[in-house]
Amino acid sequence: MRITSIIIIFFVSILSLIPYSSFAETSPDECLVIGMDANPAQGRKMFKKALNAKLKGKTSDAVEYYERAIIADHSILKHEDHGLAMELLEKYRDINATQTPALLCKRAFLENILIGNMEDSIKYYEQAAEVAKNDEVTELARDEAQRLELQLEYLRNWQAQMQKEIERQSRKDLEHYLQRTKISELEDEVEDNTFELEELQERLAYLQDQEEKVREEMYDSVETAARYRRRYYYPGAYQTPTPEPSQNNVPAGEWGSDGSNNTQQVPNPYGNQQNSSKRRYLYRYYANRGTARRHQERLTQIRAEISGVQRRIAQIEKESKELRRELSDEAVRDPNSQTD
């Protein structure tokens, strides 16, 4: 019993003298699951060495230490590695590297973990299973390949469903956008019509007021022209009550204040009026006649514009009614709309 204890202590002492690199190194025919050693303390130790070597510019040593670190503890992969993980993957990708089961399995693991390349990861696990000489290694590599295939199939199905959902949501969003755009355009048209209608109604009120003023001015000009026209033909008639005279004689008949009968023509009492007054009356007649015609033309223009404004108002009111009906229909179709 004492001899057995001495032998065990001897072997433990011998093992303690063996560097960790001997344990980190894997045989060419081993499909190692990275991190299976489950030695976090050793993993942290190797990771620190890797970072120190990286800081000193010893890239090759840094990659070597990093490989040993993640073999001891795969949780090292969650820490910032300053590019060491990708450099390790490139080491496995070297075309000159011997494609042993160990290298293929390591590459498959990192292809999957680092960049999510599950297709290539499955391929390398399958290659490792084909070249392995040990049944246990073959089974392990195939199990990893099958596990990733199931994950990949699930991922593809999920992506297909998500793609359909994204496309459906995109179509829905596009329809909603187009509908909201149409509603916005209809609202803008209704608002524009409302503004135009208010302007037209103001213009119509102004034109109707102008129509009344111009019409009164035209009638005043017509009456004034008529008055001077009569004064031209019948001068003095507006001063005293007199019979209608001719140019030189008064015709026979009853006339005068006493109602006496006249059987023959007598001299016209206004026949000798100066021609200057008649010319003045004639000038004023033509002046007021011209003013009346200008008022008439202006009145015609105003009434034509009033007619056009009224037609436009009727047209806008009809368009606005149709737009509001269409806007109401679109708002009913869109449950998210908040149109007034």
Rounded Cα distance between 261 and 254, Å, is: 4
Alpha helices in the chain (DSSP H): 2-17, 20-24, 40-55, 59-72, 84-93, 101-115, 118-131, 135-233, 275-333
What one-character-per-residue DSSP string does 2-48 give? Answer: HHHHHHHHHHHHHHHHS-HHHHH---TT----TTTT--HHHHHHHHH
118, exposed or middle or buried, with CB in 10 Å at 0-12, 13-18, 19+? Answer: middle
Residue whose C-alpha is closest to residue 134's, from 31, 281, 49: 31
Each of the 340 residues of the chain gets a pLDDT tens digit; together they read: 443 333 333 333 323 333 333 334 556 667 765 655 578 888 899 999 999 999 999 999 999 999 888 888 888 888 998 999 899 888 888 888 888 888 898 888 888 888 888 999 899 999 989 988 888 888 888 998 999 999 999 999 999 999 999 999 988 888 888 888 888 888 888 888 888 889 999 999 999 999 999 999 999 989 998 888 888 888 765 554 444 444 444 444 444 444 444 555 455 454 444 567 778 888 888 888 888 899 899 999 999 999 999 999 999 899 888 888 888 887 777 655 544 4
**CA–CA distances in Å: residue 323 to residues 196, 311, 320, 331, 337:** 15, 18, 5, 12, 16
Q: What is the pLDDT of residues 299-326, one digit of tens each?
A: 999 999 999 999 999 998 998 888 888 8
Structure tokens at 137: 């290694």
Rounded Cα distance between 178 and 262, Å, is: 98
Structure tokens at 305: 């514009």
Q: Please state the pTM of the whole predicted model.
A: 0.48
Rounded Cα distance between 44 and 41, Å, is: 5
Domains and their CATH numbers in the chain: 20-133 (1.25.40), 164-235+274-333 (1.10.287)
